[in-house]
Structure formats: C-alpha cells, structure tokens
Amino acid sequence: MHDIVDTAVAAGSFKTLVAAVTAADLGATLKGAGPFTVFAPSDEAFAKLPPGTVESLVLPENKAKLTSILTLHVMSGKVMAKEVAGQKLTPASVQGELLHVDGTDGVTVNGAKVISADIECINGVIHVIDTVIMPQG
C-alpha cells in the first residue's frame, strides 16, 4: 500500500491532479502522516474546466489560488464511504470552507459525484470525483 500521492501516480488517471499538487508544493503534505480524506478529481474532471484554466492555475503567480482549490478537496481524518451513507454532513476541508457531503443517493461532495470510493492508502483514503470543486470565496 502507498501514500496518497504515490497511489494517485500509480493509478494513472490523476496526471492533472498530481501536476497541480506538485505546482502547489503540497506533495510533502499529502505524503505525510495524515490521515487525510482526499476527494480526487480525475483527469476527466479537470478537462471539464474552461480551456486554459489548469494551465493558468499551475503558473507560479497563481500558487495561492491553486493551493486554495486543492486543499478544498482534502479533509483531516480518514472517512470511508459507509460512514456517510444515508447522511448529509458539512465537514470542514483543510482549506477552511465547509464541504457539503450528501450520502443519501450515492455520495456527492459540493455537487461532485463520487465515482470510485474507498481507495485506501497508508495515510488516508481517496474518493474519486467527477468534477473539480471550486472555492466559494
């Protein structure tokens, strides 16, 4: 079993996320002890963003905005899908904004659908989502 970053790299469907995590210097954090729950947008989720969005966000001058977006996808602690089944919760992301987790019909996070849940890592869990969550602020 690998840490969150190495698991994402090995999966092969998170190239954009891994590049963004690297650009935001969050790799060491997500390789850390955790535990973390990561709502990981797939490459297809990033492809839904307007053209040029990802290329703009990974520029050094946009590091703070990129970090804010990425940390909105992370919660402290390890939360498995069965723990939210049938519930509506508003846990805090590590970015500070509350997430709206709805486990009443599948699982959604701020409207993004969890398409693959409970990918266990040594320092947490990854849930794959179909849409990039953007900060409200």
Q: What is the pLDDT along the chain (137 residues), one digit of tens a residue?
A: 899 999 999 999 999 999 999 999 999 999 999 999 999 999 999 999 999 999 999 999 999 999 999 999 999 999 999 999 999 999 999 999 999 999 999 999 999 999 999 999 999 999 999 999 999 86
pLDDT of residue 31: 95
> Of the candidates 37, 22, 33, which has an alpha carbon nearest to the alpha carbon of residue 72?
37
pLDDT of residue 87: 96
pLDDT of residue 137: 66
Q: What gap in Å lies between CA 108 and CA 62, rounded to an integer?
A: 28
Is 112 in a helix, a strand, or coil?
strand
Contacts of 72 (CB under 8 A, 6+ apart): 93, 95, 97, 99, 133, 134, 135
CATH code linked to domain 4-80+114-129: 2.30.180.10
pLDDT of residue 136: 86
Residue 118 is encoded by which pair of tokens?
């409970």
